[in-house]
Amino acid sequence: MNDSVIVSDSVKRFKWIGTRPIRPDGVPKVTGRALYGADLKLPGMIYGKVLRSPHAHARILKIDTSKAEALKGVKAVVTAQDLPEQKFEYIGPERVAVNFWHVTRNILAREKALYEGHAIAAVAAVSASIAEEAAALIEVEYEVLPHVIDVDEAMAPDAPLLFEDMVPRGMDGAKPSNIAKRLEFKMGDIDAGFAQADVVIEKEFKTAAVHQAYIEPHACVAKMEADGQGEIWSSSQGHFQMRALTAQILGAKIGDLRVTPAEIGGGFGGKTVTYLEPVAALLSRKAGLPVRLQMTREEVFKASGPTSGSSMWAKVGVTKDGKIVAGDVILKFQAGAFPGSPVMNACLCAFSPYDIPNARAVGYDVVSNRPKAAAYRAPGSPIGHFAVESVIDMCAKAIGMDPLDLRIKNVAGIGTPTIAGPKHAHAGFRETLEALRNHPGYTAKLGPNQGRGVACGYWFNGGGESSATFQLNADGTVLVATGSPDIGGSRASMALMAAETLGVDYDQVRAIVADTGSVGYTHVTGGSRVTFATGAAVVTATRSAIKELCKRAAMIWDVDPEGVVWEDGHAKPAGSNVGDFKPLSVKELAAKAAATGGPITTSAGVNAGAQAPGFSAQFCDLEVDPETGHVTILRYVVAQDVGKAIHPSYVEGQMQGGVVQGIGWALNEEYIYNSKGLLDNAGFLDYRCPVASDVPMIDTILVEVPNPAHPYGVKGVGEANICPPMAAIACAIEQATGKRMTELPMSPPRVLAALSEG
Amino acid sequence: MSDAPARVVFTAGFSDRYTQGVREFEVTAKNLRGVLRAMDEMFPGLATHLEEETTVAINGELHETGYFQSVPPGAEVFFIPKIEGG
């Protein structure tokens, strides 16, 4: 059952917005004809292969490529020595804290191999098999070093250091350490807050590193010319981002590179960073031929970013009548081999759904011998929420209050301060909680070994820079081009917004994703920003086109442009004093484009702000098998404030997808390392993602509280939904068994072990 | 009320690094460019740090730190670390 709950009188009725047309990219995808990153083949193209470290931690003493270069069919061999050195400085957003000294070392190792799978060198040859053979001929002399995998062990004073001279930022007087950074956010008086509490509960938690598990491995083709210009075709969440990163790593000009987005088979944050593009471009530059480079599934697991695992402590104080008076967390996040975990996000999100007057969040960004962590759907927030939401549930039980009622009593609203500093500016949390509370399943009776768990999740959502162009074709059809790779159905959403704005039928609008040379700069498809920010660009470009169409109509009628208005897809006289003219349709105006001034084309670039945050509340019913520890999800209900659903099916899909990924994170997924620091489960057989038979139909409640800052009320919907499942499931297991699970994944052996504790 | 200055606020970490630990300032400006100019006059080079490292919340509404953002009279202008999503 899917419910759409309209809760605001300001929700307008639309002709196209809110409908569910068939996806415009559906036919090529279901017929297998869509071109993904590994599908492109250029004339003369050769094949690349990356040689990767077999060690978790080793100094690279020598790389001898001579035998590989001598192999017949090999066209190029590259190492880090072929890339320019980068300055050591942290630039850009704090969370990613890009330091290109680190980035270039992740793309091709220099002094050390810092994790199993770390790229050491790459070759390009006339066939994939020769490239593989050549890679094996590269001789690397290693000095194997002690390694460290676990975050707590990495923080120990005697831990092997990945960077011997790295001094933690934010810790005055600290010695070199694997701690890259310490952060602290606080508000109110934490001690006074806990002193007011009748019940104080604290608990330690651990979560495993999990991969985004996109179905399509990283892949690209690069074609570099002798004059330094080049083209790249790649599967990513942002071709402008890939262009900028590749240019920086190569020491090239951004303007010399053109990047065309392939269809993308999932990203979830993991395709906002580059691994292959600079290497493929380097090989192509050296070989003088186009080069395709793609990862195997094993390489995806070993060498592309999972999200952080963590070690956490959370403490919450609550009064007998259910007022949360204080919260405190310490979050230690694995960054992987280079600094830059999403621990700051976790600090800022952990308490944000609630009005808690006294709170503190301390975060540590810690390197260890794992692949560098990459963004994963609301990066960091699900991890912190697992700890805090679990403790809130324990508080609810301790005072005998329904866990949803406790959250409703403490829910944040407009004007509630946040630990980040600013006050909340948007509504929607309370409405979402109440919608979930009113779901009939919430009061359904449970059977033996069954439990129900509740949890919430918060995510900032993104805005920022996006571009769009609008072109009116001679027959009155419209082309809308944007720079946002389509991951979640954005082409349909862009077409819906353009059709609604212009007043034409949806099937008259075609939306495409344009390359970096054909549309203005657009930030990544990530942060739940595309429908909000790129949608705003589309609406702005369409409105500009309407203004131009009114001018053209004025020219045809020989009246002032101010005398023309736009209604229902037609230019009309503004009043009877303008004249008695028959309204002109888009099609009629398109036919007169040449006579009235030439092609009707507009563009818009926006820096969209005032995005509303995402908030999701969920409950889960499950059954625990006491013999095996296996958990079966019986019912899962997700409510989310979606602002206004442009294409409700896609919104539901985002909510269901986030929940299913959260179920996998909760119950099965984990990076398993052996004593040598090598990954033991680098494949989908041993890294257990949920499949369709593992989950019930996820029931969605779309709560529509429009964002007034968007023309159609859009709020980002892609991320907040992955934040609650881990805690919701842990709480349900506790209700079913009496055992509080504090370590992820809650796999059958771990649940069984908890049950056997008595 | 129309001339009420904006209240400019930094996080503790940011103020420790760049404003000698002072977290709050009063600034009269119509837009964010004016705020950045005023802060840069007090702490030369600060505007660049704000542009590169922060997101701004104007009365709680998050925006990128762009010059064009209008600042209503009496607004709270809170600079926080930039956030990147997935």
How does pLDDT run across A689-707, given as a tens digit for each residue?
Answer: 999 999 999 999 999 999 9
Check residue A218 and give left, alpha or beta (phi > 0: left; psi -120 to 50: alpha): beta
In chain B, which residues touch A (CB < 8 A)?
A: 9, 11-13, 52-53, 57, 59-64, 66, 68-69, 76, 78, 80-86
- Inter-chain touch A344–B81, beta carbons under 8 Å: yes
Of B59, B64, B69, the CB nearest to A425: B59
Of A91, A268, A709, the CB nearest to B86: A268
| Integer Cα distance of B77 and B9 in angstroms | 6
The residues pairing with A257 across neighbouring beta strands, listed in sequence order, are: A230
- Inter-chain touch A184–B84, beta carbons under 8 Å: no
Mean pLDDT score of chain A, rounded to an integer? 95
Q: Which helix (H) or strand (E) holds A534?
A: none
Report the SS3 class of residue A113: strand
Q: Which helix (H) or strand (E) holds A47?
A: strand A46-52
Smallest CA–CA distance from A266 into chain B, residue: B86
| Integer Cα distance of A134 and A70 in angstroms | 9
Of A212, A420, A528, the CB nearest to B80: A420
Task: With beta carbons less than 8 A apart as the criterion, state whether A217 and A294 touch.
Answer: yes
Q: What residues of A are annotated to the active site? A: 719
Instruction: Identify the band that residue B71 occupies on the pLDDT scale cut at 50, 70 and 90.
Output: very high
How does pLDDT run across A268-296, given as a tens digit for each residue?
Answer: 999 999 999 999 999 999 999 999 999 99
Q: Per CATH, is A1-13+436-461+612-758 categorized as 3.30.470.20? A: no
pLDDT for A544 beyond 50:
yes
Contacting residues for B37 by C-beta, under 8 A, at least 6 apart: B29, B47
Pairing of strands B61-64, B54-58: antiparallel
pLDDT for A665 beyond 50:
yes
pLDDT for B81 beyond 90:
no
pLDDT for A412 beyond 50:
yes
Smallest CA–CA distance from B61 into chain A, residue: A610
Task: With beta carbons less than 8 A apart as the criterion, state whether A95 and A348 touch.
Answer: no
- Inter-chain touch A345–B64, beta carbons under 8 Å: no
Task: With beta carbons less than 8 A apart as the criterion, state whether B5 and B70 touch.
Answer: no
Q: Which two tokens mark A661?
A: 């990924």
How much is the pLDDT for A523? 96
Kindly list the residues from chain B whose CB atom is less than 8 angstroms away from the CB atom of residue A609. Answer: 61-64, 66, 69
Q: Which two tokens mark A746?
A: 């809650």
Q: What residue ranges of chain A are covered by domains with CATH 3.30.365.10?
A: 1-13+436-461+612-758, 148-208+306-369+379-425, 464-608
pLDDT for A85 beyond 70:
yes
How much is the pLDDT for A172? 85
| Integer Cα distance of A664 and A746 in angstroms | 10
Of A348, A424, A526, the CB nearest to B85: A526
Smallest CA–CA distance from B56 into chain A, residue: A422
Smallest CA–CA distance from B11 into chain A, residue: A421
| Integer Cα distance of A270 and A268 in angstroms | 6
Q: Which helix (H) or strand (E) holds A190?
A: helix A190-196
Residue with tokens 């499931």: A729
pLDDT for A628 beyond 80:
yes
How much is the pLDDT for A2? 46
| Integer Cα distance of B35 and B79 in angstroms | 11
- Inter-chain touch B85–A424, beta carbons under 8 Å: no
Report the SS3 class of residue A29: helix
- Inter-chain touch B84–A93, beta carbons under 8 Å: yes
| Integer Cα distance of A269 and A574 in angstroms | 48
Of A91, A184, A344, the CB nearest to B52: A91
Q: Distance of CA A691 to CAs A281, A661, A700, Å?
A: 36, 10, 19
ipTM of the assembly?
0.84
Amino acid at A475: D
**In angstroms, what separates the C-alpha of B54 from chain A's closest C-alpha?**
7
- Inter-chain touch A465–B64, beta carbons under 8 Å: yes
How much is the pLDDT for B83? 74
**In angstroms, what separates the C-alpha of B57 from chain A's closest C-alpha?**
6
- Inter-chain touch B64–A529, beta carbons under 8 Å: no
**In angstroms, what separates the C-alpha of B3 from chain A's closest C-alpha?**
22
Instruction: Identify the band that residue A329 occupies on the pLDDT scale cut at 50, 70 and 90.
Output: very high
Residues A652/A653/A655/A660 CA torsion (nearest 10 deg): 140
**In angstroms, what separates the C-alpha of A95 from chain B's closest C-alpha?**
6
- Between residues A99 and A132, the one the model is more confident about: A132
Smallest CA–CA distance from B63 into chain A, residue: A609
pLDDT for A8 beyond 80:
no
How much is the pLDDT for A651? 97
Of A170, A269, A607, the CB nearest to B86: A269
- Inter-chain touch A376–B84, beta carbons under 8 Å: no
Q: Which CATH architecture has domain A464-608?
A: 2-Layer Sandwich (3.30)
pLDDT for A92 beyond 70:
no
Smallest CA–CA distance from A374 into chain B, residue: B86
Q: Which CATH architecture has domain A148-208+306-369+379-425?
A: 2-Layer Sandwich (3.30)
Peptide linkage before A371 cis (omega within 30 of 0)? no
Burial class of residue A576, CB neighbours in 10 A (0-12, 13-18, 19+): exposed
pLDDT for A1 beyond 60:
no
| Integer Cα distance of A384 and A311 in angstroms | 10
Interchain CB contacts (distance < 8 Å): A and B: 110
Mean pLDDT score of chain B, rounded to an integer? 89
| Integer Cα distance of A754 and A385 in angstroms | 22
Report the SS3 class of residue A103: helix
Q: Which helix (H) or strand (E) holds A723?
A: none
How much is the pLDDT for A718? 96
Q: Distance of CA A276 to CAs A58, A335, A386, A513, Å?
A: 22, 20, 33, 22
Closest CA to A389 of A618, A614, A212: A618
How much is the pLDDT for A687? 97
Q: Per CATH, is B6-81 categorized as 3.40.50.720? A: no
Pairing of strands A219-224, B54-58: unpaired
Q: What is the sign, positive or negative, of the torsion defined by CA atoms of A689, A692, A694, A700?
A: positive
- Inter-chain touch A421–B81, beta carbons under 8 Å: no
Kindly list the residues from chain B whose CB atom is less than 8 angstroms away from the CB atom of residue A382. Answer: none
Instruction: Identify the band that residue A96 occupies on the pLDDT scale cut at 50, 70 and 90.
Output: low
Check residue A65 and give left, alpha or beta (phi > 0: left; psi -120 to 50: alpha): alpha
Instruction: Identify the band that residue A757 occupies on the pLDDT scale cut at 50, 70 and 90.
Output: confident
Task: With beta carbons less than 8 A apart as the criterion, state whether A623 and A736 touch.
Answer: yes
Amino acid at A222: A
Q: Which CATH superfamily is domain A46-145+213-303 in?
A: Aldehyde oxidase/xanthine dehydrogenase, a/b hammerhead (3.90.1170.50)
Q: Which two tokens mark A224?
A: 């570099």
- Inter-chain touch B80–A415, beta carbons under 8 Å: no
How does pLDDT run across A546-591, given as a tens digit for each residue?
Answer: 999 999 999 999 999 999 999 999 999 999 898 999 999 999 999 9
How much is the pLDDT for A6? 45
Question: What percent of chain A stands above pLDDT 90?
Answer: 95
pLDDT for A10 beyond 70:
no
Kindly list the residues from chain A whose CB atom is less than 8 angstroms away from the CB atom of residue B86. Answer: 212, 268-270, 272, 375-379, 526-527, 719
Q: Which of A91, A94, A190, A424 to mutate: most B Cβ within 10 Å?
A: A94
Range of weakest confidence among A175-189, A445-459, B11-25: B11-25
- Inter-chain touch A272–B86, beta carbons under 8 Å: yes
